[in-house]
Chain A
Amino acid sequence: MSENRRQILQMLAEGKINADEAERLIAALEREPASSAEPLKGDVLKPRSKYLRVMVEAQDPHKNGQMTKVNIRVPMKLLRAGVRLGALLPPQARDRANEALREQGIPFDLNQVKPENLEDLIEQLNDLEVNVDEDRAKVRVFCE
């Protein structure tokens, strides 16, 4: 519901305007083009990514340099569900996972991954793009 429509209904509820006036105001509101409060085209209306895509093309040195291609598509819904499940891990399991990540040189704290931060995390993934282009291998990670 738009802010203007909410204000009209609020005024009606408070008795500042009657039902006819509210109806006229709402009708006028519907005739108006999208107000400045609405998101601008190309600003927030960027479509949400549905999939995380990983594409790898690599030469296999044991097979006379023949190419191996890998193409993986992971639904964002699966990522969301996985992060939510991670948030349910008991604290001692999370601490052990954090320790294992630290040992691998990944300073990531699983305790910071909470369902309330999840949408922000997924939102940021929309802009993710990794391109690695080497002689023997090409890797592309992106959202679509």
Chain B
Amino acid sequence: MPPLFLRIHVLNHVGREIRLWIPLFLLWLLMLPFAVVILPVLLITAVVLDIDPFPALASALRILSGLRGSHVEVDSPDASVFVHVY
């Protein structure tokens, strides 16, 4: 299953704070019509580059679903950044 939410939290050294919950599932839904257009282009590109398109597509989807649970947290004197993929 692809990631459903992305949580971003940025706090800079002057105390300005950004908290974002990005509903990725809505993004996937919005991208579906574009996928219909983009997929044939990707297919042709893969054939030109001598890449088997179907395993490549399966791998790309696996990477997308593998992103769930990723977590990046950086806490420096200048800013703090927190990113979590749900």
Contact = CB atoms under 8 A, between A and B. Distances in A.
Nearest to B74: A70
Interface string A64-94: 0011111111110111111011001110000
Nearest to B84: A73
A137 to B, nearest CB: 13
Contacts of A78: 63, 66-67, 70
Interface size bracket, A side: 20 to 34
B69 to A, nearest CB: 4
Interface in A42-62: 50-51, 60
A73 B84 CA distance: 9
A50 B69 contact: yes
Given A50-B69, A75-B67, A80-B62, A68 B56 contact: no
Contacts of B62: 77, 80-81, 84-85
A24 interface: no
Secondary structure type dominating chain B contacts? mixed
A71 B71 CA distance: 8
A85 B62 CA distance: 9
Interface stretch (B18-26, B36-44, B45-53): B45-53
B66 A80 contact: yes
A63 interface: yes
Contacts of A89: 51
Nearest to B80: A69
12 contacts: A63-B77, A63-B78, A69-B75, A72-B73, A73-B72, A75-B68, A77-B69, A78-B67, A81-B59, A85-B63, A90-B49, A90-B50
Interface of B: 49-52, 55-56, 59-60, 62-63, 65-78
Given A66-B77, A68-B77, A73-B72, 20 more contacts: A60-B76, A63-B77, A63-B78, A69-B73, A69-B76, A70-B73, A70-B75, A71-B74, A72-B71, A72-B73, A73-B71, A74-B70, A75-B67, A77-B66, A78-B66, A79-B66, A82-B63, A84-B62, A85-B63, A90-B51
